Amino acid sequence: MAEDQTSGVDEKSAARKAFAALIGSWIFLPAFFLTSGRSLDWWGAWAWCAVVLVPSTIFGLRMFRKDPAFIIRRMKMREKQKTQRRIAAIGIPFYLAALALPGLDRRFGWSEIPAAAVIAGLALSLAGYLLILRVFSENRWAGRTIETWEGQQVVSTGPYAVVRHPMYTGALVLWLATPLALGSWWALLPALASIPLMALRIRNEEEVLVSELEGYEEYRRKVRYRLLPLVW
């Protein structure tokens, strides 16, 4: 089992960094869409910011008090696995494009998306994000990087009883719904890149978990699907 990398970490310092990141998100996301779309009359963008920021703020403040070690794990950004670093490097341009294109689309009128489709995109974005937070509540070991921790146990309850990687399921729903919520058909193209990238990430993650996490192979045999029930 890997060494517990949260031991010896200043919890107050980590909490301050996490809180600063949270405040920064409230500033950065609206500013980003205002800059790219150059319009205050972009209700889909402001609603999408609320869909992401309000739940994350409520959940983050709760975890600051309940489980500081979880915050420390989520603040760790550097991947230990070379494969994961490569996947991240490939994915960053696509993720940035998926967020930047809607602003350009808004300014130049490339897409015409009905308000009902935007509302559906917002609803799916919220559903995907709430699933991610549900996973965090169920699995306190759900770090940002691919590694195992001292004392970590296999979680097989809640959404983990349905698929082995429900956090990615929520992320996939959120990511594919975001272009609709922001009113851009064109942004769907880079967003679709998240599917193969997520599949590669999951394959490597499972290799790590099988080799390092006791009981994961048995869990993998019990829960058949990785990401989507009846699909994969």
* C-alpha 191: how far from chain center: 13
Domain annotation covers residue 3: no
**Rounded Cα gap, residues 3 and 15, in angstroms:** 21
Residue 111: the pLDDT is 92
Q: Which domain holds residue 23?
A: 11-222
Domain annotation covers residue 2: no
Residue 1: the pLDDT is 41
Residue 9: the pLDDT is 52
Residue 228: the pLDDT is 93
Domain annotation covers residue 1: no
Name residue, tokens 């929520």. 170
Domain annotation covers residue 4: no
Taking only the tens of pLDDT, the chain with its 232 residues reads 444 444 445 666 767 777 888 899 999 999 999 999 998 999 999 999 999 999 999 998 888 888 877 877 777 767 777 888 888 889 999 999 999 999 999 999 999 999 999 999 999 999 999 999 999 989 888 877 777 877 888 999 999 999 999 999 999 999 999 999 999 999 999 999 989 999 999 999 999 899 988 999 999 999 999 999 989 9
Query: For residues 227 and 201, is the Cβ–Cβ distance under 8 A?
Result: no
Residue 20: the pLDDT is 86
Domain annotation covers residue 194: yes
Q: Count the domains in the chain.
A: 1
Domain annotation covers residue 191: yes
Residue 162: give its domain's CATH number: 1.20.120.1630
**Rounded Cα gap, residues 75 and 129, in angstroms:** 18
Domain annotation covers residue 6: no
Which ranges of 76-147 would DSSP assign to H, the alpha helix? 82-108, 115-138
Residue 161: the pLDDT is 95
Domain annotation covers residue 143: yes
**Rounded Cα gap, residues 50 and 55, in angstroms:** 8
**Rounded Cα gap, residues 88 and 50, in angstroms:** 26
**Rounded Cα gap, residues 188 and 34, in angstroms:** 20
